[in-house]
Chains A and B, each alone.
Chain A
Amino acid sequence: MGKFEDRLWRDLVRKHGADLAQREGPAARTSRHPRARPRLLAGTSIGLAVAGTVAVLVLSAASSPPAFAVSQNSDGTVTVSLQKLAAVHQVNATLAAMGVRARLVVVSTGCTVKALPPGAVRAMQLARTMAGRAAPQAAITRFDPSKIPPGKTQVIPAYGVADTVHVATAQLIQGKAPVCISTIVAPACQPGKILPNARLTPANPADFHEKAAQQALKQFLARHPATAHDTGNSGNSGNSGNSGNSGTSTSTAKPTQVPAPGSVVDCYIRVPAGHPPLTGNSGNSGNSGTSGNS
Chain B
Amino acid sequence: MMLRDSSRANAAVPGGPSGSALAEFEQVYRANVDVVTSYFARRCAEPQIVADLTSETFVRAAGAFGTFDPGRGSARAWLFGIATHVFAGHCAQAANGRDAVARLAQRRPLDVDEIEELAGKIDDERAGRELIGRCTELPELERAAVELVDLAGLTPKEAATALGVSRVVLRKRLSRARARLRKEHEGDG
Q: Which of B22, B33, B66, B71 contacts A17 (CB 8 A)?
A: B22
Q: Say if the beta carbon of A212 comes within 8 Å of chain B.
A: no
| CB contact under 8 A between A12 and B59, given known A5-B33, A27-B15 | yes
Find chain A residues with CB under 8 A from B19 CB: 24-25, 27-28
CA distance A30 to B21 in the complex (A): 12
Q: Which of A3, A9, A20 contacts B21 (CB 8 A)?
A: A20
In the complex, are the beta carbons of B29 and A25 less than 8 A apart?
no
Number of chain B residues whose Cβ lies closer than 8 Å to a Cβ of chain A: 38
In the complex, are the beta carbons of B117 and A25 less than 8 A apart?
no
Name the segment of B50-58, B80-88, B161-169, B171-179 touching the other chain: B50-58
Min CB distance, B15 to chain A, in Å? 5
CA distance A44 to B117 in the complex (A): 60
| CB contact under 8 A between A26 and B62, given known A3-B113, A5-B37, A8-B33 | no
CA distance A5 to B54 in the complex (A): 9
In the complex, are the beta carbons of A25 and B20 less than 8 A apart?
yes
In the complex, are the beta carbons of B66 and A23 less than 8 A apart?
yes
Q: Which of B13, B62, B108, B111 contacts A27 (CB 8 A)?
A: B13
In the complex, are the beta carbons of A3 and B66 less than 8 A apart?
no
A15, A16, A22: residue with the most chain B Cβ atoms closer than 10 Å: A16
In the complex, are the beta carbons of A30 and B37 less than 8 A apart?
no
A5, A21, A22, A30: residue with the most chain B Cβ atoms closer than 10 Å: A5
Q: Kindly report which residue of chain B lies nearest to residue A89, judged by CB atoms.
A: B67
Shortest 9 CB-CB contacts between residues of A and residues of B? A25-B24, A28-B19, A20-B22, A16-B62, A23-B21, A20-B21, A4-B114, A21-B22, A27-B13
B interface list, Cβ under 8 A from A: 12-16, 19-26, 29-30, 33-34, 37, 51, 54-55, 58-59, 62-63, 65-66, 68-71, 108, 110-111, 113-114, 117-118
A interface list, Cβ under 8 A from B: 1-5, 7-9, 11-13, 15-17, 20-28, 30-31, 35
Q: Provide a sorted-by-A list of 26 A–B residue pairs whose CB atoms are within 8 angstroms.
A: A1-B30, A3-B111, A3-B117, A4-B118, A8-B33, A8-B54, A9-B26, A9-B29, A9-B33, A11-B108, A12-B59, A13-B22, A16-B25, A20-B25, A21-B22, A23-B65, A24-B20, A24-B21, A25-B22, A25-B23, A26-B24, A26-B68, A27-B13, A27-B19, A28-B19, A35-B69
